[in-house]
Amino acid sequence: MGEKKGRYGDFGGQYVPETLMPAIHELEEAYNKYSNDPEFKKELTTLLNEYAGRPSLLYYAEKMTKDLGGAKIYLKREDLNHTGSHKINNVLGQVLLAKKMGKKRVIAETGAGQHGVATATAAALMDMECEIFMGKTDTERQALNVYRMELLGAKVHPVSTGTMTLKDAVNEAMREWAGRMDDTLYVLGSVMGPHPFPMIVRDFQKIIGEEIKAQLMEREGRLPDVVMACVGGGSNAMGTFYDFIKDESVKLIGCEAAGEGVDTPRNAATIANGKLGVFHGMKSLFCQNEYGQIDEVYSISAGLDYPGIGPEHAMLNETGRAQYVSITDEEAVSAFEYLSRVEGIIPAIESSHAVAYARKLAPTMSKDQIMVVTVSGRGDKDVAAIARYRGVKIFD
Amino acid sequence: MSRIHKAFENGKAFIPFLTGGDPDIATTEKLILAMAENGADLIEIGIPFSDPIAEGPVIQEADERALKNGCTTDDLFELVKRVRTKTEVPLIFMTYYNPVFSYGNERFFKNASEAGIDGIIVPDVPFEESDEIRSVSKKYGVDLINMIAPTSDERIEKIAKAAEGFLYCVSSLGVTGVREKITTNVGEMIEKVRKVSDIPCAIGFGISNPEQAHTMAQVSDGVIVGSAIVRLIAESGNEAVEKVSSYVKEMKAAANK
């Protein structure tokens, strides 16, 4: 039998129907070719710098630092990227790759809509057709992003099967890709799915951690003590962590969504509650019942509302190299409000999960320690939902 | 050796699929026995999964109905045991990897084998990942059915060489479901198989009417029908057993016309 590809310890792999195998092999070959091609790298760097606005700022959150009274806190401002989140890093890479592969059309899943918006943006820029699959529930709670995608020329398909959220959007995008792959690339939005996606997405996102390291070296002349990020599938966290994995003094912390609480039925805390399984092309941890049926998960954040986690995170958790904590809706919403008031930065509700844990951890650390929190996206898209959560009626 | 080879000893095989527990276990049991009596050569029983990524809407909905009604993997093992006391028709499971994996491969195949299951199709486990299943299924005499697709091309040879039971030839791109026309040259796919193996080849995906069954049987050893039957079950209520019986009879005849 062929060698097993894309393994992170026991996790990962390529669990997809036969129909799709040639498509993921084609993608793998193309990626291996272009990721080492100086011309491709140059084009991508130009796009990232001139179009997306990289490098993103590493901002010293002085007021937050003083208020919490512990570690010095830096925020990695992925929210300042074009389209408002880290998703653009991966999408520019994958859509450029699709173009090189001669594809004319890209499809993508989206949860909160950030990956969908980023994909629609890159598709507009590079003259590709674009279709986005989004759970019907998510199209309702993120209606503004649906309209943004349509403005950008994408067609949005509300997915009304299963739980009508991110997981079902992935199902539907995979089904669509299995039906049309000659001219179409599936642009997966996180470090998940079958190999080579977890590797490709991590490679396109690792710029986050590389920049943090260089920027902090310039400012402080040293490595941080802690870096942290929110985790759904795990792309901004993987991007943040990757360059620090070999620096053992740096503590890596992923913040997952506990919804109404990890002990309640309504959460999306995969590391806390998931079991080993095989789904969406990968062996990893999944929230599931005793018969292997995938659970309906819940978080106030549509971007973290996913029953699985990328295989490399599952490995980092198992080896203990990274630590994963759970943050409830209430804690995330409080952090959303806190960062808005203290620093004048409205973070995405996803990123607010990382901010929430920073508020817990920073006071326990000493003033000569340094913590970096990745603010993966901006919170404009969440304003209406947070108002609703707080019982405030606004027109949206 | 499993019973699967027997399915191909009676002219062109007709292989119906149904989702276990849709609409309930008792009906599934009656349907399986009726299918066997009316000419089904092998019966595929779907173990419902919450997220069947290779299925079109018809089977997705059947899975949803079955799960909503509480159907579990254990219920289907019990069902197969009861059916086995009444018929020797070859029976195979069709399911996704997570229900098998989470049950425990060892425990799953032990129970499947004891219940009287002859084979299994796991569409989200491609050839390259199949070792971890095959090493266990083989031990319990359950055939792991490989699939080839219109995109498989040069992969066909290695997949066919390792095939057990029969080879599932996917007629079309995309997911399961009734199609008006099958445009892939499936005959050509099967010719590639024939160069390296004499494993029986059955064609599935998109087949719903006697004319298609006849055409596909010309180039293969059998035809597989899923969505058309699942839809018939969903639409026929109390008359499902009767309607499915005559459908199976008609399709078996058409495949052998």
pLDDT digits 0-9 by tens, B83-134: 999 999 999 999 999 999 999 999 999 999 999 999 999 999 999 999 999 9
Residue that has been written with the tokens 């029953």 in this structure: A307
Burial class of residue A396 (count of CB atoms within 10 Å of its CB; 0-12, 13-18, 19+): exposed
Distance CA(B172)–CA(B195), nearest Å, equals: 22
Catalytic residue among A78, A109, A312, A343: A109
**Percentage of the residues of chain A whose pLDDT score is greater than 90:** 93
Distance CA(A78)–CA(A275), nearest Å, equals: 31
Whose CA is closest to B44, among B225, B253, B256? Answer: B225
* Residues of chain A with C-beta less than 8 angstroms from the C-beta of B108: none
Whether residue B170 is predicted with pLDDT greater than 80 in this model: the reply is yes
B130:A292 CB<8 A: no
Does A21 lie at the interface with B, CB-CB under 8 angstroms?
A: yes
Whether residue A291 is predicted with pLDDT greater than 90 in this model: the reply is yes
Catalytic site includes residue A376: yes
pLDDT in tens, A53-85: 999 999 999 999 999 999 999 999 999 999 999
Q: Are A113 and A121 in contact (CB under 8 A)?
A: no
pLDDT in the model for residue A1:
41
pLDDT in the model for residue A4:
66
pLDDT in tens, A334-377: 999 999 999 999 999 999 999 999 999 999 999 999 999 999 99
Q: Is A161 helix (H, G, I), strand (E, B) or coil?
A: coil
Q: Which helix (H) or strand (E) holds A185?
A: strand A184-186
| Residue in chain B nearest A17 by alpha carbon | B124
How far are the Cα atoms of A302, A334, B108 from residue A385, in angstroms, in the given order? Answer: 11, 13, 44
pLDDT in the model for residue A395:
65
Whether residue A2 is predicted with pLDDT greater than 70 in this model: the reply is no
Shortest CA gap B233–chain A (Å): 20
pLDDT in the model for residue B146:
97
Does B49 lie at the interface with A, CB-CB under 8 angstroms?
A: yes
pLDDT in tens, A241-289: 999 999 999 999 999 999 999 999 999 999 999 999 999 999 999 999 9
Cis (ω within 30 of 0) for the bond into B16? no
Catalytic site includes residue A299: no
Phi first, then psi: what are they for A182, rounded to 5°?
-65, -40
Provide CB contacts within 8 A for B68, sequence distance 6+.
none
Q: Which helix (H) or strand (E) holds A125?
A: helix A114-125
Distance CA(A264)–CA(A258), nearest Å, equals: 9
Q: Is B32 helix (H, G, I), strand (E, B) or coil?
A: helix
Q: Are B251 and B7 in contact (CB under 8 A)?
A: no
Does A261 lie at the interface with B, CB-CB under 8 angstroms?
A: no
Phi first, then psi: what are they for B68, rounded to 5°?
-60, -35
* Residues of chain A with C-beta less than 8 angstroms from the C-beta of B73: 291-292
A291:B97 CB<8 A: no
pLDDT in the model for residue A393:
82
Pairing mode, strands B147-148 and B167-170: parallel
* Residues of chain A with C-beta less than 8 angstroms from the C-beta of B72: 291
pLDDT in tens, B177-231: 988 888 889 999 999 999 999 999 999 999 999 999 999 999 999 999 999 999 9
Catalytic residue among A76, A87, A283, A381: A87
Residue A294 amino acid letter: I
How far are the Cα atoms of A19, A302, B54, B80, B206 from residue B170, in angstroms, in the given order? Answer: 8, 35, 11, 26, 9
Shortest CA gap A115–chain B (Å): 21
pLDDT in tens, A219-231: 999 999 999 999 9
B72:A291 CB<8 A: yes
B97:A278 CB<8 A: yes
pLDDT in tens, B34-74: 999 999 999 999 999 999 999 999 999 999 999 999 999 99
Half-sphere exposure of A208 (CA within 13 A, CB side): 36
Q: DSSP assignment, residue A51? A: I
A-facing residues of B in 133-152 (CB < 8 A) are 146-152
B-facing residues of A in 154-193 (CB < 8 A) are 161-162, 167-168, 171, 174-175, 178-181
B97, B98, B148: residue with CB nearest A18: B148
Whose CA is closest to B19, among B72, B83, B71, B63? Answer: B63
Beginning with the edge strand found earlier in the chain, give each strand of the sheet holding A105-110 in spatial order.
Answer: A155-159, A129-135, A105-110, A184-186
Does B256 lie at the interface with A, CB-CB under 8 angstroms?
A: no
B124:A293 CB<8 A: no
Maximum separation of any 2 CA atoms in chain B, in Å: 47
Q: Are A250 and A323 in contact (CB under 8 A)?
A: no
| Residue in chain B nearest A170 by alpha carbon | B53
* Residues of chain A with C-beta less than 8 angstroms from the C-beta of B162: 1
Catalytic site includes residue A131: no
pLDDT band at A142 (very low <50, low <70, confident <90, very high): confident
ipTM for the predicted complex comes to 0.96
Best residue in A293, A296, A306 for a mutation probing chain B (most B CBs within 10 Å):
A293
Distance CA(A116)–CA(A134), nearest Å, equals: 8
Q: Are A114 and A303 in contact (CB under 8 A)?
A: yes
Does A275 lie at the interface with B, CB-CB under 8 angstroms?
A: yes
B147:A167 CB<8 A: no
For residue A97, the tally of other CB atoms under 10 A from its CB is: 22
A15:B57 CB<8 A: no
Does A278 lie at the interface with B, CB-CB under 8 angstroms?
A: yes
Q: Are A267 and A297 in contact (CB under 8 A)?
A: yes
Give mean pLDDT, residues A192-204: 98
Whose CA is closest to A226, among A388, A91, A357? Answer: A357
Distance CA(A53)–CA(A3), nearest Å, equals: 40
Tell me how many helices (H) and strands (E) chain A has: 16, 14
What does the block give as tokens for A31?
A: 């990626």
pTM: 0.97
Whether residue A382 is predicted with pLDDT greater than 60 in this model: the reply is yes
Whether residue A144 is predicted with pLDDT greater than 90 in this model: the reply is no
pLDDT in the model for residue A368:
97
